[in-house]
Amino acid sequence: MKVVFSSTIEQEQEICDLVTEFYDSVFPRYFSDKEIRHLAELGVLQTPSKNFSYFGTLKEAYQVMTSIQVIMSILETKDLQSYRINPKNEELFLHNARLLNDYGLFFPLNLEHFTVLQEERADKSFYLYTEAANQLLI
């Protein structure tokens, strides 16, 4: 008999927060609003039930959180070219993406999807998913 511990509510909330942060701060650096909406419709970083409930073990929840954080740190690096040149870093990205898929979070993207920063694109229009520079206080 093997005893496993279920993921906690706090872990599930942290996974939800990480996914939200991914959509709010990472995806807007590389994709347009239309592309981000399409990723959301595809269910990228969503559980199969399309909600954020994650019903795994304690260990799996930690691995999911760590995988999301590793991918985010790779993509937030200013010199992304070095990650494509260095096979170890590319393998790190692929390994963590594979873990997310294995644990039920759909992540069909690879490092090649993140080659062009949004700032380098010709279209400099307003983006819905980009974080606001300031807030209006009433």
Asked if the model's pLDDT at residue 124 lies above 50, the reply is: no
H/E/C letters for each residue in 18-52? HHHHHHHHHHHHHCCHHHHHHHHHHCCCCCCCCCC
Measured CA to CA in angstroms, residue 105 lies from 24, 40, 61, 94, 138 at distances of 18, 12, 11, 14, 39
- Residue 94 · residue 88 · CB < 8 Å: no
pLDDT at 87: 75
Beta partners for residue 57, in sequence order: 6
Mean predicted lDDT score pLDDT of the chain: 79
Task: Give the pLDDT mean for 92-120.
Answer: 86
pLDDT at 100: 94
Reference 72, options 52, 100, 48; nearest CA is: 100
pLDDT at 67: 96
Task: Give the pLDDT mean for 111-132.
Answer: 61
Q: pTM, whole model, 2 decimals?
A: 0.77
Write the pLDDT tens digit of every residue in 24-82.
Answer: 999 998 898 999 999 999 999 987 655 555 667 888 889 999 999 999 988 887 666 65
* Cα–Cα dist 39/133, whole Å: 24
